């Protein structure tokens, strides 16, 4: 990652130079920048002549965007370094192949949801629970999955998403321990679910074609039913036949999965289309029933049958599910819930393959929600149709009632059942290995390193391991004791997704900006509670077992796993729990996703205020604009010149007055008054000592000293430049407000554009500030324009496309405008020149020449070198003219494009080394000439925005 200091090298491929630790430790950071500037390529020197004042590596170029396109490397590394290094801005790596919404999300979800339960158990559920309880059952399960899908959509649209689906989302939101524990349970659930689907397909095949079995069928004879019917003979396939065919089918599906996403993409429609056709045949058969050969229990759609089947009629059954007064299995609503809930699982099938999607932020919400809504409506409609179709005895005794009524023949349903279960098994065997690889690639548990796979490659080792688990469960043959735990794993994952969204929404950090607008923290909380309630309703014993297994994995990860900083929601919560946050975060640098602006507000410098007003009112308004929904802390500082012992009581009185003013302005902040011999000494003390731990201020906010020349305040240039240099040394960002008196308050609505002139790679601070402005009522109707400067005309379109993609991944809506160097110079050199600016340019040249002449005369008269502030300065008039010309061109560009902008943001250049402070003030005056309202922003050597969720 390129450092954010504008003096850093732009050549990412240059070989590293040896560093003398002892020498560099004592070297001024500004001098290190200067020394690094001596090693430049010829292409870099061409750009120096254009924008040298902003730093040698100043242009926001294509390679520079990688600074925020990668998660920062940590030691020990936690998010997978290899996966992040694979992300590039511009031309993406050629990976095979990327899927869209239909084939990547909608079809996998539909195949997993439409399973065997709908074909062979749904009519039985309607007969046992009655119509109204079946409706409640479907609505309860559908609400659980729908709320989970909303939470999933919100997190998935909060940034770029890597492979791992729900594990990736939960881990990045709740931390690696929770993510790995739930992720491994969810992997196990998917792997065993594949065995369930395979056994369902084999059993249906052997029921339809009994002669295909190698062993004798098992025959169960029931002498009577609870309704007094005659004897019933039920034949079930042999366990050995299930094992043989199950292993063969699993191996065949594994070969398909080994073929990769391209093969799966071609095979999936072949499994899904017959399934959809079979469901259509069921509806046609229901509408046309009863047929000439239909059993007497099939009445056709009848209101009488509907009324008879409206209420529940729970009866004991034998092992085959047939009502029997002497049966050993007792049913109620909770047990029906456990039987039916697997019919609605599968909403994560699309997100499980997130690494194979073209656009996760668009595909996951649309595909998942459409599949969830479509299947839920189909289940609700089927409750009414089946409840009005046949008598209760027929619903309870005919295991394949859907095949009995289907048009034109039962074989259609047999084919539909087999293909639906095989399609669901295929999706499970596809998603589970990718989930395991995502966990392994994060390198949290070294024991999983054998499953690592490069991005874009097929997870062959993980697929073999998943197949082994699936075949082992197929060989067991009886999954009755395992399937409830698998259901718990799915519900545990759903609860984790809902809790992740709830936590992120509750904390509402600046990085939380999902595109999906339908979510709300209350919906996520309801979804999480609903998942937990359903778990205990199905079986409290299996719930305890599942939670215990997840807890053991969590404990193991905590002991043996590697630490990871993913910017998870818990660490963001620490920032709102003060002391706990300081202990938890320690001295570590804050992750961009947890970064909050903590502005240090200079209350009274360089302005005329009444003595009873402790702070400029617009500075307080601006401090509130920098915080999202008021969250964050501001530190308001004033400096009193004098001796501390003499002015201590005055400082306390001023501090009380400032605190009352902050409360009256409804600012979340604290007041601090510093007594120092001078403003420069006071600020130097503040920047070194203010704050505690990670609650130290990270942005210095002050007004631009517009009055320095009009009131002939000659001490301001050296003080202003000294403050900026101190901020650079202390690694603090700087925001200087020009036109503070015209800054709007919270009741003055603005219309127009917020224009960003993104010149220096500032870690994304300028982008973040523009987004924070849009969250306020005053600026919510404004639009953002981002201006970038390209060196060559040929790279302008490529830079524009890459910046657009970068802003899209940051969830920013902005128009990107690229200004080439040729047009940049033409603004100041051609017909577009502005007379006022030209006059200001000539006046600045004359004033600087007079000032430098006076400095030289004074130095010659006193027989000493040129000195300012105790330091020797170097007068290079050619450099001075070049910097003035740079500011003239930039000012002309701003006036050409942004004269009517509501706010103009521009990168704040660092004061040139060894030049008089007076020259820098002239440069800045020329930059802000005729621009009514401007923010000059300088970031620091840390990213404050990130692409990742």
Q: What is the tens place of the pLDDT at every residue in 569-609?
A: 666 666 666 666 566 656 666 777 777 788 898 887 776 77
- Alpha helix (H) ranges present in 318-391? 333-340, 360-387
pLDDT at 224 over 60: no
Which phi and psi angles does 47 have, rounded to 5°? Answer: -75, -25
Which phi and psi angles does 896 have, rounded to 5°? Answer: -70, -40
User: Residue 107's CB: how many other CB atoms inside 10 A?
Assistant: 24
Query: Which neighbouring-strand residues pair with 818?
Result: 788
Q: Looking at residue 126, what is its pLDDT?
A: 93
- How big is the CA angle at 630 (ends 640 and 515), to the nearest 5 degrees? 140
Query: Taking Cα atoms as reference points, which of 777, 802, 773 lies closest to residue 904?
Result: 773
Per residue in 749-789, pLDDT (tens digit) is: 889 999 999 887 788 888 888 888 888 888 888 999 999 88
CA distance 138 to 123: 13
pLDDT at 901 over 90: yes
Query: Taking Cα atoms as reference points, which of 193, 147, 151, 188 lies closest to residue 170?
Result: 151
Q: Looking at residue 479, what is its pLDDT?
A: 58
Average pLDDT over residues 299-311: 92
DSSP symbol at 324:
-
Find where tokens 């402005």 sit.
Answer: 773
Q: What percent of the chain has pLDDT over 70?
A: 79
Residue ranges with strand state E in 792-882: 814-820, 867-868, 871-872
Query: Taking Cα atoms as reference points, which of 572, 585, 699 lies closest to residue 635?
Result: 699
Find where tokens 């000494």 sit.
Answer: 681
Q: What percent of the chain has pLDDT over 90?
A: 18
Q: Looking at residue 131, what is its pLDDT?
A: 95
CA-based Rg of the chain, rounded to a whole angstrom? Answer: 35
Helix (H, G, I), strand (E, B) or coil at 815: strand
Cβ distance 412 to 406 under 8 Å?
yes
Cβ distance 519 to 239 under 8 Å?
no
CA distance 414 to 417: 5
Cβ distance 200 to 420 under 8 Å?
no
Q: Looking at residue 64, what is its pLDDT?
A: 55
Q: Looking at residue 303, what is its pLDDT?
A: 92
pLDDT at 860 over 80: yes
- pLDDT tier at 86, thresholds 50, 70, 90: very low
Query: Which neighbouring-strand residues pair with 637?
Result: 602, 672
Question: What token pair was written down for 768?
Answer: 């973040």
pLDDT at 716 over 80: yes
Positive or negative: CA dihedral 550, 553, 559, 561: negative
Average pLDDT over residues 308-322: 83
Cβ distance 947 to 9 under 8 Å?
no
Asked, as a colleague might, if the bond just before 869 is cis with ω within 30 of 0, I would say no
Query: Taking Cα atoms as reference points, which of 304, 318, 369 lies closest to residue 157?
Result: 369
Cβ distance 637 to 700 under 8 Å?
no
pLDDT at 71 over 70: no
CA distance 179 to 182: 5
pLDDT at 684 over 60: yes
Helix (H, G, I), strand (E, B) or coil at 675: strand
Q: How many CA atoms lie within 13 A of 816 on its CB side?
A: 22
Asked, as a colleague might, if the bond just before 505 is cis with ω within 30 of 0, I would say no
């Amino acid at each position: 990652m390129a450092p954010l200091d504008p003096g850093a090298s732009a050549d990412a491929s240059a070989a590293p130079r040896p560093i003398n630790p002892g020498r560099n430790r004592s070297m001024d950071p500004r001098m290190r920048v200067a020394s690094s500037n001596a090693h430049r390529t010829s292409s870099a020197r061409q750009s120096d002549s254009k924008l040298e004042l902003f730093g040698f590596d100043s242009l926001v170029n294509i390679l520079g965007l990688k600074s925020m396109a990668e998660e920062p490397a940590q030691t020990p590394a936690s998010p997978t370094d290899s996966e992040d290094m694979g992300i590039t801005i511009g031309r993406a790596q050629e990976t095979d192949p990327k899927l869209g919404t239909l084939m990547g999300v909608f079809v996998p979800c539909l195949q997993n949801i439409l399973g065997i339960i709908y074909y062979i158990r749904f009519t039985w559920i309607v007969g046992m629970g009655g119509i109204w309880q079946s409706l409640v059952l479907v609505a309860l399960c559908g609400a659980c999955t729908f709320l989970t899908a909303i939470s999933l959509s919100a997190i998935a649209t909060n940034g770029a998403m890597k492979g791992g689906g729900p594990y990736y989302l939960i881990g990045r939101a709740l931390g690696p321990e929770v993510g790995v524990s739930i992720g491994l349970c969810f992997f196990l659930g998917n792997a065993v679910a594949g065995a369930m689907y395979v056994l369902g397909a084999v059993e249906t095949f052997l029921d339809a074609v009994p002669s295909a079995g190698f062993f004798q069928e098992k025959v169960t004879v029931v002498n009577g039913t609870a309704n007094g019917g005659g004897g019933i003979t039920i034949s079930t396939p042999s366990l050995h036949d299930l094992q043989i065919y199950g292993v063969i089918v699993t191996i065949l599906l594994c070969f398909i999965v080994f073929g990769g996403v391209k093969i799966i993409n071609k095979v999936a429609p072949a499994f899904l289309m017959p399934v959809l056709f079979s469901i259509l045949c069921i509806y046609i058969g229901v509408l046309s029933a009863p047929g000439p050969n239909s059993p007497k229990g099939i009445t056709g759609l009848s209101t009488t049958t509907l009324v008879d089947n409206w209420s529940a009629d729970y009866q004991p059954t034998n092992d085959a599910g047939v009502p029997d007064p002497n049966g050993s299995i007792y049913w109620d609503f909770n047990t029906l819930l456990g039987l039916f809930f697997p019919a609605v699982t599968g909403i994560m099938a699309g997100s499980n393959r997130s690494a194979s999607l073209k656009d996760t932020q668009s595909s996951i919400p649309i595909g998942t929600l459409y599949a969830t809504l479509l299947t839920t409506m189909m289940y609700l409609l089927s409750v009414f149709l089946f409840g009005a179709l046949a008598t209760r005895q027929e619903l309870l005794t005919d295991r394949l009632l859907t095949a009995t009524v289907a048009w034109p023949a039962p074989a259609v349903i047999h084919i539909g059942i087999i293909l639906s279960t095989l399609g669901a098994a295929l999706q499970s065997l596809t998603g589970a290995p990718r989930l395991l690889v995502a966990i392994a690639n994060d390198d949290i548990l070294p024991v999983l390193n054998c499953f690592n796979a490069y991005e874009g490659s097929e997870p062959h080792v993980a697929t073999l391991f998943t197949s082994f688990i699936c075949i082992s469960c197929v060989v067991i043959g009886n999954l009755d004791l395992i399937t409830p735990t698998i259901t718990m794993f799915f519900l545990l994952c759903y609860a984790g997704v809902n809790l992740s969204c709830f936590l992120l929404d509750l904390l509402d950090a600046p990085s939380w900006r999902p595109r999906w607008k339908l979510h709300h923290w209350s919906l996520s909380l309801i979804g999480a509670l609903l998942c937990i309630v359903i778990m205990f309703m199905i079986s409290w014993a299996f719930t305890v077992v599942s939670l215990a297994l997840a807890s053991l994995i969590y404990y193991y990860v905590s002991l043996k796993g590697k630490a990871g900083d993913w910017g998870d929601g818990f660490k963001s919560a620490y920032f709102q729990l003060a002391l706990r946050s300081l202990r938890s975060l320690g001295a570590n640098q804050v992750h961009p996703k947890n970064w909050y602006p903590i502005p240090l507000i200079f209350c009274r410098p360089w302005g005329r205020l009444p003595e009873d007003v402790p702070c400029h009112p617009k500075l307080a308004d601006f401090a509130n604009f920098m915080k999202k929904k008021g969250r964050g802390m501001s530190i308001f500082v004033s400096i009193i010149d004098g001796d501390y012992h003499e002015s201590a009581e005055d400082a306390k009185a001023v501090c009380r007055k400032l605190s009352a003013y902050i409360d009256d302005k409804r600012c979340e902040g604290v007041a601090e008054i510093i007594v120092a011999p001078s403003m420069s000494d006071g600020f130097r003390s503040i920047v070194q000592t203010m704050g505690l731990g990670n609650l130290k201020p990270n942005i210095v906010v002050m007004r631009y000293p517009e009055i320095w020349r009009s009131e002939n305040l000659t001490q301001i240039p050296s003080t202003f430049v000294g403050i900026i240099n101190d901020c650079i040394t202390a690694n603090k960002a700087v925001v200087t407000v020009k036109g503070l008196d015209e800054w709007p308050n919270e009741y003055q609505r603005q219309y127009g554009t917020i224009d960003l002139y993104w010149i220096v790679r500032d870690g994304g601070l300028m982008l973040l500030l523009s987004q924070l402005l849009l969250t306020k009522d005053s600026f919510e109707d404004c639009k953002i324009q981002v201006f970038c400067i390209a060196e060559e005309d040929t790279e302008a379109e490529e830079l524009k496309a890459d910046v657009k993609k970068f802003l899209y991944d940051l969830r920013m809506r902005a128009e990107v405008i690229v200004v080439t160097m040729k047009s940049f110079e033409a603004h100041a050199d051609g017909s577009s020149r502005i007379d006022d600016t030209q006059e200001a340019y000539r006046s600045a040249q004359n004033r600087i020449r007079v000032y430098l002449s006076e400095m030289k005369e004074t130095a010659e008269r006193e027989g000493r070198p040129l000195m300012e502030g105790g330091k020797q300065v170097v007068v290079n008039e050619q450099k001075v003219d070049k910097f003035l010309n740079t500011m003239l061109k930039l000012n002309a560009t701003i006036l050409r494009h942004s004269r009517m902008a509501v706010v103009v943001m521009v990168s704040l250049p660092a004061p040139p080394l060894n030049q008089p402070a007076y020259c820098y003030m002239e440069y800045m005056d020329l930059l802000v000439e005729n621009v009514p309202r401007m923010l000059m922003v300088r970031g620091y050597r840390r990213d404050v925005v990130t692409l990742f969720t």
